[in-house]
Structure 1
């Protein structure tokens, strides 16, 4: 089966207080399906995948450039679905793992919210994900990710072959964050149900915030709000108190924090991360809420 290389390349610019989509390029099966303005000059962008998902050996490349003082919200229309890998006659992978590489370049004063739908790893999927972020001083990035263990309604639970991900963030010329993850459920050396790994949980989500405004006080306020949402030390019920979620807030080396959530249902993780995201954007970066319809 021939490989498919899907590409998206887009540059954004600010003009008269409004963010506009400038130069753009896309190659099947990826495309920028729609761009739509919000009331405060922010621009929203949908990325569409015209195929059933990332097939064996496919390679997706997304390159984003956010100009000075731009405000952009990026999402996709549906889950990123990674299909099973094809093997050679001898059973080897024959270099057929699926790959997605993303590059985000943020100029001074830009505010970017990069909020894709969850990643769904099918049985026997092999997927490599690499995201590189380059930020200039004064820029802000809010980035989310959610990972599902498979099509649980079909009985798939950590039946994928390999998931390898890397996120690297450079601020100015300084590397401020680098996270690498390799999950190989069938490996005898990986015990996913152990303490320090997934434990009893099946789904994972994270919200990353990178900005010069992120300091110890910023993290404390986010942590306090998270605890209120979950009903920690509260006698009255709150929206998320009945959900089986395990979460925490941690600071990165510099200018960043990560809200991590583990649970059993992807929609519960999404709802909690959305509440945290809205709190952060409204408190620190953007005065108004936005409604995203899909």
Structure 2
């Protein structure tokens, strides 16, 4: 197994309507750079990577524990950049990339509310990256989580030139598996432009909601909202956006969850739509005001 080269571990508690960090630990190059209060007792947390990005063979671990009735928003300061993987000889003499890895664990106790909104993931040419996230929820807890994946440094012509990207998400509710997502992309071995794959799109974005309140009626309302946003304006700039620029879908998980999936060509277009859906869910489902996050 690779060495752990970056680690964040944090626990949160609620007291008198305010959430605070009760315990924290970080190991270079990761650190909790800032923690500050938002309105309504919500605590904002910024994670910083002091290195140029995830290098070949690096292994990051992030462990988050949210106590009862805590209210937390987590993000990072910039893109997660995955650098090229060096090659080494395998057991049979073949050349294999040295994988980079990231493992995340989120544990939400009863009544906790968490928004986990990291900046996009960018996979450089020849990068080989394995990402694994495991979520454990107790009844009454809620998680809103997003991810955006870029195909490379597109201004340099890097589009699907990475070696491999594997992404795994497992969500448990009271110990029962309610969602399992698996993704494995190897551009050199797959026809990404084919039917049932990426087609002409290059960037992807996903917004996950896991909550007791997620049901079929909410899924339909979210679909209607997304259709209006795509057709009429972007989330923040209120500028026309051709519908074909983005391909969207809303699906329900096995229990207690919704997934909004977006394919597009530009990060900012995907992020605007994800932000609009996130703010809509904050308002419609949790009666929370808009949250402005400055970076």
Shared fold (TM-score greater than 0.5)?
yes
Instruction: Give, in whole Å, the separation in 1 of the partners of 2:17 and 2:193.
Output: 50
| Residue number in structure 2 paired with 1:288 | 289
Q: How far apart are residue 5 of structure 1 and its match?
A: 1.4
Unaligned runs of at least 5 residues, structure 1: 233-237
| Residue number in structure 2 paired with 1:87 | 87
- Count of residues in Structure 1 that have an aligned counterpart in Structure 2: 285
Q: Secondary structure at the match of 1:176?
A: strand
Counterpart contact for 2:4–2:61, Cα < 8 Å: no
| Residue number in structure 2 paired with 1:191 | 191
| Residue number in structure 2 paired with 1:100 | 102
| Residue number in structure 2 paired with 1:131 | 133
Instruction: Give, in whole Å, the separation in 1 of the partners of 2:138 and 2:154.
Output: 41
Counterpart contact for 1:54–1:80, Cα < 8 Å: yes
Counterpart contact for 1:4–1:58, Cα < 8 Å: yes
Counterpart contact for 1:229–1:240, Cα < 8 Å: no
Instruction: Give, in whole Å, the separation in 2 of the partners of 1:131 and 1:175.
Output: 13
What is the aligned-residue RMSD (CA, Å)?
1.5
- Deviation per residue, 1:150-185 (Å, 9 max, x gap): 000000000000000100000002100000000000
- 1:286–1:62: structure 2 CA closer, same or farther, 3 Å change rule? farther
- 1:37–1:156: structure 2 CA closer, same or farther, 3 Å change rule? same
Instruction: Give, in whole Å, the separation in 2 of the partners of 1:75 and 1:113.
Output: 8
Instruction: Give, in whole Å, the separation in 2 of the partners of 1:287 and 1:79.
Output: 27
Counterpart contact for 1:240–1:272, Cα < 8 Å: no
Instruction: Give, in whole Å, the separation in 1 of the partners of 2:41 and 2:248.
Output: 33
Q: How far apart are residue 49 of structure 1 and its match?
A: 0.1
Match of 1:148 among 140, 147, 150: 150
Instruction: Give, in whole Å, the separation in 1 of the partners of 2:294 and 2:242.
Output: 26
Q: How far apart are residue 282 of structure 1 and its match?
A: 1.1
| Residue number in structure 2 paired with 1:205 | 205
Q: How far apart are residue 93 of structure 1 and its match?
A: 2.9
Q: How far apart are residue 239 of structure 1 and its match?
A: 3.9
Counterpart contact for 1:4–1:57, Cα < 8 Å: no
Unaligned runs of at least 5 residues, structure 2: 233-237
| Residue number in structure 1 paired with 2:33 | 33
Instruction: Give, in whole Å, the separation in 1 of the partners of 2:288 and 2:256.
Output: 21
| Residue number in structure 1 paired with 2:275 | 274
Q: How far apart are residue 240 of structure 1 and its match?
A: 5.1
Residue range with higher mean Cα deviation, 49-58 or 218-227 = 218-227
| Residue number in structure 1 paired with 2:119 | 117
